[in-house]
Amino acid sequence: MTSEIACATSAAVGSITDDDECLARELESRGYSVHAVVWNAADVDWGRFAAVIVRSTWDYHLHIDAFRAWLSHLEELGVTVWNPPALMRWNTAKTYLRQLVDRGVSIVETRWVAQHERTSLASIVEAAQWEQFVVKPSVSASAHRTWRGSISEAVVLEANFRAAVTHGGVLVQRFLPEVTSDGEWSLLFYGGEFSHAVIKRPRAGDFRVQREHGGSSRSASAPAYAIASAGAALHEAEVLHAKSAYARVDGCLVNNRFVLMELELIEPDLYLRSHADAPRRLADALAL
């Protein structure tokens, strides 16, 4: 069997990221050769790899139909893919959160708006009685086209909202002030087992915690109840679809409970450099 592994990336990245280099070194110590391969590059023989690990495909949401078709192509080839295509395909649209709610997972308060739905932004936030809210596309990554507003601005922001709904499905969520006051937690799981946690904070004056928007992160010890709740949310996703090799469970601590914001199963930053044992744990979970 081939010992080559593809670390799927995007054209804008084009190489193995600094964080994923930790995993590559671990896999190479086990006899594998790891190559960065752009997921939508032409004429790639994906069948020659022992496995494809989806890591920095950070433009997938801009080419969602092509990305889903690529996952199906890998399935047809019979290539080992992590995470499993069925799990990633489900995770491409944030409507997955509705299924988790139905299975008892606590998420940030959300209203789902279908593409072209006529409901106004003002009617949504007034009925929900949210002082502040966040609007995000159902298919999005890295806070792409995500914005924040207040109930007093809802009428003025209607044009922005209508443009978003015309483009696709939309989520309107209550803004959690804990994001800016306490930070957003990311809990990392490999093979369904908790590994470590980081806490992320937005830059001053912003609400987005992503590094590309000026956010910062640091290692932190998550409370036991947060780890248990995050693990339970991941478990429900795996029951619905397939076992994960890696997952990042993002959320906030609100009144001593963990509130899920996102379940990241496609291409999240896994903060491998934040814990010495993380690369080994992830390599073990890949079960190569």
Q: pLDDT by residue (tens digit) across 226-284?
A: 999 999 999 999 999 999 999 999 999 999 999 999 999 999 999 999 899 999 999 99
Q: What is the pLDDT at residue 208?
A: 58
pLDDT in tens, 147-205: 889 999 999 999 999 999 998 999 999 999 988 888 899 999 999 999 999 998 876 76
- Give the model confidence (pLDDT) of 31-55 as tens digits: 999 999 999 999 999 999 999 999 9
Strands of the sheet containing 132-137, edge to edge, are 110-113, 170-174, 132-137, 147-150
pLDDT at residue 287 tops 80? no
Q: Please enumerate in sequence order all residues whose Cβ is within 8 A of that of 236, keeping only pairs 6 or more positions apart, or say none.
A: 100, 103, 104, 105
- The verdict on pTM exceeding 0.95 is no
- Give the span between the Cα atoms of 82 and 79, in whole angstroms: 10
Place of tokens 């009428």: 155
Q: Cite the DSSP H helix spans in 119-197.
A: 121-128, 158-167, 178-181
pLDDT at 92: 95
Alpha helices per DSSP H over the chain: 18-29, 64-77, 85-91, 96-102, 121-128, 158-167, 178-181, 224-240, 278-286
